[in-house]
Amino acid sequence: MTRPDPTPTLPELTKFQGEVIHADQKLAPILSAEHITVRFGGVTAVKDISLAVRPGEILGLIGPNGAGKTTLFNALTGFVRPSEGRVTFGGRDVTHLQPQVRARMGLARTFQVERPFEDLSVLENVLVAAFLKRRGRQAEDHAYSVLERVGLADRAAQPASQLNLARRRRLEMAKALALEPRVLFLDESIAGLNPPAQQEMVGLVRQLAQSGLGIVMVEHIMHVIMSLSDHVICMAFGELLAEGDPKHVASHPDVIRAYLGDDND
Ligand SMILES: Nc1ncnc2c1ncn2[C@@H]1O[C@H](COP(=O)(O)OP(=O)(O)OP(=O)(O)O)[C@@H](O)[C@H]1O
């Protein structure tokens, strides 16, 4: 069911990071981007896009092929340097920080093409990320608890190369979660999965948001993004076409013209 207001509802978020949140308190954005523009030579891939993500909120980025979603995603996570604009995370200007620095600060991402260390076990893959934040036994316990969270604990000892696509996607998510993020970027984590696996992933993403994580997701499957997102941004040719709650965006005439007529769903 779609929420009318993107701000997470209480009591879903009565506690976040040890702070008690009172019912009359509106959560401040954990991540915000102001007037982001990215140019590649003569191509303006992203033009003047602003956004904000609050703890527990799911922001969906949609738009036809070439709209600039991946480039915006990369600008937010540090893989591309914006030509203009500012990215603020946890109250700090991170516009010029490297991706790995942002990741350690709590801004983690998955990749469209998952890239595990194929010969390492599932647990070892997650440990590589967990060791960036913790040491020794603590890292191991944390890695294992992340595997439980994504439903891969029973595969902990299996080589990553033996996982099917749905489990590889979960492993990709586990690696990001091992960094103990406050905002998680999901780059097409659901596309390509069969319907039951899609539903499981939808459930997992919802759980993560309910635990207080801010989520930004790029996804081509419209019904998935529309059912999951609190707030949707639709881009076309790098520009903002429409934004708001999923219902508003899905019924926007420009969106229907630019995207829903597209044969992606
Ligand atoms: N490194 C680059 N150099 C030059 N142009 C680029 C580069 N990366 C992206 N572009 C261009 O920027 C525009 C936006 O591309 P982008 O991949 O961000 O769109 P997208 O919405 O993610 O598309 P898709 O849904 O197909 O993944 C496109 O015109 C693309 O060709």
Q: Answer whether residue 194 is part of any domain.
A: no
Q: What is the CATH number of the domain that holds 257?
A: 3.40.50.300
| For residue 25, pLDDT beyond 60 | no
Share of the chain above pLDDT 70, in %: 88
Span 10-21, mean pLDDT? 39
Could you tell which of 70, 111, 265 is best to mutate to test the pocket of ligand 1, judged by most ligand atoms within 8 Å of the CB? 70
| For residue 40, pLDDT beyond 70 | yes
Residue nearest to atom 18 of ligand 1 (CA): 68
Span 38-60, mean pLDDT? 97
pLDDT confidence band for 4 (50 / 70 / 90): very low
Q: Is the CB of 43 under 6 A from ligand 1?
A: yes
Domain count, the chain: 1
| For residue 15, pLDDT beyond 70 | no
Q: Is the CB of 66 under 6 A from ligand 1?
A: yes
Would the ipTM clear 0.90, i.e. be above it? Answer: yes
Q: What is the pLDDT of residues 154-203, one digit of tens each?
A: 999 999 999 999 999 999 999 999 999 999 999 998 989 999 999 999 99
pTM of the model: 0.87
Q: Answer whether residue 119 is part of any domain.
A: no
Span 26-45, mean pLDDT? 94
Could you tell which of 69, 80, 221, 259 is best to mutate to test the pocket of ligand 1, judged by most ligand atoms within 8 Å of the CB? 69
**From ligand 1's centre to the CA of 72, what distance in Å?**
9
Could you tell which of 39, 40, 112, 225 is best to mutate to test the pocket of ligand 1, judged by most ligand atoms within 8 Å of the CB? 40
pLDDT confidence band for 258 (50 / 70 / 90): confident
Q: Answer whether residue 260 is part of any domain.
A: yes
Q: Check residue 14 and give its pLDDT.
A: 36
pLDDT confidence band for 21 (50 / 70 / 90): very low
Q: Answer whether residue 234 is part of any domain.
A: yes
Q: Answer whether residue 159 is part of any domain.
A: no
Q: What is the residue range of 85's domain?
A: 1-97+211-265
pLDDT confidence band for 60 (50 / 70 / 90): very high
Q: Answer whether residue 89 is part of any domain.
A: yes
Rounded to whole angstroms, how far apart are CA atoms 228 and 213? 14
Q: Answer whether residue 181 is part of any domain.
A: no
Q: Answer whether residue 52 is part of any domain.
A: yes
Q: Check residue 113 and give its pLDDT.
A: 81
